[in-house]
C-alpha cells in the first residue's frame, strides 16, 4: 500500500472544516479592508527564494524542496509566498506607479523540516502584503486587519510581540556593538551562532538554543542603535497600536527568520499555544522588491500557519460546526424519478440535501445514513407519492412524521 509522502498529510473531514472556516473568514475580512487575492504558482525558479530569503536563513540553508526539472532548471516548491508575490508584482510591472497594492494569498507551502509535532513538510499559510506604503499607519492598518481576522475566528488571548530591526544603514553600528559583546563570551554560544556572527549577527538573538539565550543576557539591543527616522517610525507605530487598543510587548530578541526585514518585525503569540512557537509573524521588508529586480518599493506583510491555527481553534472550540445534509431516499422506480426532480427544486432553494442513488432496500440506506451522521432522512415510496407526502424520519430519536411535499422546504429551513 502506498502512503503519503513523509511529513505531508491528507486533509479531510472535521479537520478540513476548520480550514474552510478560516479561509472563508480570511476572504471576507481581507476584502473588506480593500485587499485583493493573488495566486502565484507553487513552483518557482530556485533563484527567487535564494535571492530573497538571504543565504543565512534556515529556509535556504536547510529546508528548501529544491530539485532539477526535466529541462535541467533548478526549481523549488515555495517555502513561503512573499518572494513569489514580489516576483509576480515585479514581473507584471505593478509597482511602477505609486499606487499601493494590497494583496493577500492562501495556499500550501513546502519545507523540508525535521519531523516534530505540528510541523509538516506541506503546510498552509494565509498572508497579507501591502506594497508602496512606508508609513507606520499602513502597518497599523494591516495589524488591525489581522486582529479583526483572529477575533472573528474567536481568538482572544493574543499578544503582539514587537521589535524594530532597523535598516541596512543602521545595522552596522548594532553589529559592531554586538560583535564586541559576542567575542567576550564566544565559547558560550553554539556552532550555528559562530557561523551567524560572520553572516548575520542579528540572527543570534533568536537562536533556539537555551545556552545561547542565557549567554545573551544583557546584550546590546537593536532599538538603541536605530537611526532617527527608524526611531520615529517605531514610536509612531507604538502610539497607533495603543490608540487601536492592540496590546503589545517589546521584544528586543525578535528578529524573524528571514534576512529581508527592515524596521518593524513582529509576532503574534497565543496564550493557548503553550510551549510551541508563535502563531504568526511578519514585518516590514523595504529592501526585498529591489533585491528581486523591481523598483525601490516599501512593503509590509505577515503570514499565518493554517495548520496550527486550525489546531488551536479545535483545542479551544472543539470540532468546527457541521451539519450533515438531509438524506432523500426514494424507494422504487417512480419515486426515484420524482426524487431527482424534488432534489433539484430544493437545491435551487439552497437546501442541503443528499440523494440516495443506490436503489435497493430502505433498511440498508437507513443503516448507512446512521453511520455517516445523517440526522434526518426523507423517504419517498409509492404510497407517499400517491398522497403527495414524504416520510420524515429523525434518525437520532427514531420518530417518524408525514410531511406534505409542498411543506418540505419550510420544514428543512426551520
Ligand atoms: P514563517 O514563514 O516561518 O514565519 O512561518 C509563519 C507561520 O507558518 C508559523 O508561525 C507557523 O504557524 C507556520 N509554519 C511554518 N512552518 C510550518 C511547518 N513546517 N508546519 C506547519 N506550520 C508551519
210-226 tens-digit pLDDT? 999 999 999 999 999 99
Grid cell listed for 353: 440535501
* pLDDT given for residue 90 in this prediction: 96
Rounded mean pLDDT of 196-207?
91
Cα of 348 vs centre of ligand 1, distance in Å, is: 41
Q: Tell the residue nearest (CA) to atom 14 of ligand 1.
A: 305
Strand pairing class (101-110; 158-164): unpaired
- What pLDDT digit, counting tens, does each position of 376-403 carry? 999 999 999 999 999 999 999 999 999 9
- Order of strands across the sheet with 122-131? 36-37, 101-110, 122-131, 299-305, 280-284, 264-270, 158-164, 248-250
Rounded mean pLDDT of 227-243?
97
| Residue 257 Cβ < 6 Å to ligand 1 | yes
Q: Does 53 have pLDDT greater than 90? A: no
Q: Tell the residue nearest (CA) to atom 11 of ligand 1.
A: 305
Rounded to whole angstroms, the Cα distance separating 154 from 21 reads: 11
> Which of 83, 113, 125 gets mutated to test ligand 1 (max ligand atoms within 8 A of its CB)?
125
Q: Does 329 have pLDDT greater than 70? A: yes
Position in ligand 1 atom list of the atom nearest CA 306: 12
* pLDDT given for residue 321 in this prediction: 86
Rounded mean pLDDT of 40-55?
88
Q: Tell the residue nearest (CA) to atom 16 of ligand 1.
A: 119
- What pLDDT digit, counting tens, does each position of 118-140 carry? 899 999 999 999 999 999 999 99
Which of 194-198, 256-260, 326-330, 359-363 holds the top average pLDDT? 326-330
Rounded mean pLDDT of 225-243?
97
- For the chain, give the mean pLDDT: 93
Q: Does 240 have pLDDT greater than 70? A: yes
| Residue 306 Cβ < 6 Å to ligand 1 | no
Cβ neighbours, 10 Å, residue 339 = 24
Handedness of CA 6, 10, 11, 14 (dihedral sign): negative
DSSP string, 215-284: HTTTPPPGGGG--HHHHHHHHHHHHHHHHHT--EEE-TT---SSTT--SEEEEEEEGGGTTS--SEEEEE
Rounded mean pLDDT of 274-281?
72
Rounded mean pLDDT of 227-241?
97
| Residue 78 Cβ < 6 Å to ligand 1 | no
Grid cell listed for 12: 479531510
| Residue 282 Cβ < 6 Å to ligand 1 | no
Position in ligand 1 atom list of the atom nearest CA 304: 7
| Residue 120 Cβ < 6 Å to ligand 1 | yes
User: Domain ranges in the chain?
Assistant: 13-170+226-317, 326-413
Q: What is the 3-state secondary structure (H, E, C) of 88-150?
A: HHHHCCCCCCCCCEEEEEEEEEECCCCCECCECCEEEEEEEEEECCCCHHHHHHHHHHHHHHH
* pLDDT given for residue 200 in this prediction: 86
* pLDDT given for residue 277 in this prediction: 60
CATH 3.40.1440.60, domain 326-413, yes or no: no
Which tops the pLDDT comparison, 256 or 119? 119
Grid cell listed for 64: 528548501
Handedness of CA 398, 401, 407, 411 (dihedral sign): negative
Alpha-carbon distance values, 356 to 101, 278, 329, 337 (Å) = 48, 46, 5, 12
Q: What is the 3-state secondary structure (H, E, C) of 182-208?
A: HHCCHHHCCHHHHHHHHHCHHHHHHCC
pLDDT band at 306 (very low <50, low <70, confident <90, very high): very high
Cα of 346 vs centre of ligand 1, distance in Å, is: 42
Cα of 117 vs centre of ligand 1, distance in Å, is: 12
Rounded to whole angstroms, the Cα distance separating 268 from 9 reads: 26
* pLDDT given for residue 61 in this prediction: 66
pLDDT band at 256 (very low <50, low <70, confident <90, very high): confident
Q: Does 60 have pLDDT greater than 80? A: no
In this structure, of 94-108, 273-287, 298-312, the range with the lowest mean pLDDT score is: 273-287
Cα of 22 vs centre of ligand 1, distance in Å, is: 16
| Residue 197 Cβ < 6 Å to ligand 1 | no
pLDDT band at 273 (very low <50, low <70, confident <90, very high): low
CA proximity to 178, closest of 194, 209, 196, 201: 201
Position in ligand 1 atom list of the atom nearest CA 279: 10
| Residue 196 Cβ < 6 Å to ligand 1 | no
CB contact at 8 A, 89 and 289 = yes
Cα of 199 vs centre of ligand 1, distance in Å, is: 23
CB contact at 8 A, 268 and 158 = yes
pLDDT band at 157 (very low <50, low <70, confident <90, very high): confident
Rounded mean pLDDT of 72-79?
96
Position in ligand 1 atom list of the atom nearest CA 282: 4
| Residue 307 Cβ < 6 Å to ligand 1 | yes
Rounded mean pLDDT of 2-9?
96
* pLDDT given for residue 360 in this prediction: 85
CATH 3.10.180.10, domain 13-170+226-317, yes or no: no
Rounded to whole angstroms, the Cα distance separating 376 from 223 reads: 62
Q: Does 262 have pLDDT greater than 60? A: yes
Cα of 57 vs centre of ligand 1, distance in Å, is: 14
How big is the chain by its Cα radius of gyration, in Å? 27
Work out the burial of residue 77: count CB atoms within 10 Å of its CB; fewer than 13 is exposed, 13-18 middle, 19 or more buried.
buried
* pLDDT given for residue 275 in this prediction: 54
Amino acid at each position: 500500500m502506498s502512503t503519503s509522502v513523509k511529513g505531508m498529510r491528507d486533509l479531510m473531514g472535521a479537520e478540513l472544516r476548520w480550514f474552510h472556516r478560516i479561509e472563508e473568514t480570511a476572504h471576507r475580512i481581507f476584502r473588506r479592508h480593500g485587499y485583493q487575492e493573488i495566486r502565484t504558482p507553487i513552483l518557482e525558479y530556485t533563484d527567487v527564494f535564494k535571492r530573497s530569503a538571504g543565504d543565512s536563513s534556515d529556509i535556504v540553508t536547510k529546508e528548501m524542496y529544491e530539485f532539477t526539472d526535466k529541462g535541467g532548471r533548478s526549481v523549488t516548491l515555495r517555502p513561503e509566498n512573499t518572494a513569489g508575490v514580489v516576483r509576480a508584482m515585479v514581473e507584471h510591472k505593478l509597482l511602477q506607479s505609486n499606487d499601493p497594492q494590497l494583496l493577500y494569498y492562501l495556499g500550501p507551502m513546502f519545507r523540508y523540516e525535521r519531523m516534530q509535532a505540528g510541523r509538516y513538510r506541506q503546510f498552509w499559510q494565509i498572508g497579507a502584503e501591502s506594497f508602496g506604503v512606508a508609513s507606520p499607519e499602513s502597518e497599523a492598518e494591516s495589524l488591525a486587519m489581522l486582529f479583526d481576522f483572529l477575533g472573528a475566528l474567536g481568538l482572544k488571548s493574543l499578544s503582539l510581540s514587537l521589535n524594530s530591526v532597523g535598516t541596512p544603514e543602521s545595522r552596522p553600528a548594532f553589529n559592531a556593538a554586538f560583535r564586541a559583546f559576542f567575542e567576550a563570551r564566544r565559547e558560550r554560544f553554539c556552532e550555528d551562532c559562530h557561523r551567524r556572527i560572520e553572516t548575520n549577527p542579528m540572527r543570534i538573538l533568536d537562536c533556539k538554543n537555551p545556552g545561547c539565550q542565557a549567554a545573551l543576557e544583557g546584550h546590546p539591543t537593536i532599538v538603541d542603535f536605530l537611526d532617527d527616522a527608524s526611531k520615529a517610525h517605531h514610536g509612531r507605530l507604538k502610539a497607533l497600536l495603543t490608540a487601536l487598543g492592540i496590546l503589545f510587548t517589546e521584544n528586543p530578541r525578535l528578529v524573524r527568520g528571514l534576512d529581508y526585514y527592515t524596521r518593524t518585525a513582529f509576532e503574534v503569540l497565543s496564550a493557548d499555544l503553550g510551549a510551541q512557537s508563535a502563531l504568526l509573524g511578519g514585518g516590514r521588508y523595504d529592501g526585498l522588491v529591489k533585491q528581486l529586480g523591481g523598483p525601490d518599493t516599501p512593503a509590509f506583510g505577515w503570514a499565518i500557519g493554517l495548520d496550527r491555527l486550525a489546531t488551536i481553534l479545535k483545542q479551544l472550540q472543539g470540532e468546527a460546526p457541521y451539519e450533515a445534509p438531509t438524506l432523500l431516499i426514494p424507494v422504487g422506480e417512480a419515486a426515484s424519478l420524482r426524487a431527482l426532480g424534488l432534489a433539484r427544486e430544493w437545491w435551487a432553494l439552497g437546501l442541503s440535501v443528499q440523494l440516495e442513488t443506490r436503489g435497493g432496500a430502505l433498511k440498508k440506506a437507513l443503516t448507512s445514513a446512521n453511520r455517516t451522521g445523517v440526522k434526518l432522512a426523507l423517504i419517498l415510496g409509492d404510497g407517499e407519492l400517491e398522497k403527495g407526502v414524504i416520510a420524515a424520519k429523525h434518525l437520532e430519536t427514531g420518530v417518524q412524521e408525514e410531511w406534505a411535499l409542498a411543506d418540505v422546504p419550510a420544514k428543512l429551513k426551520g
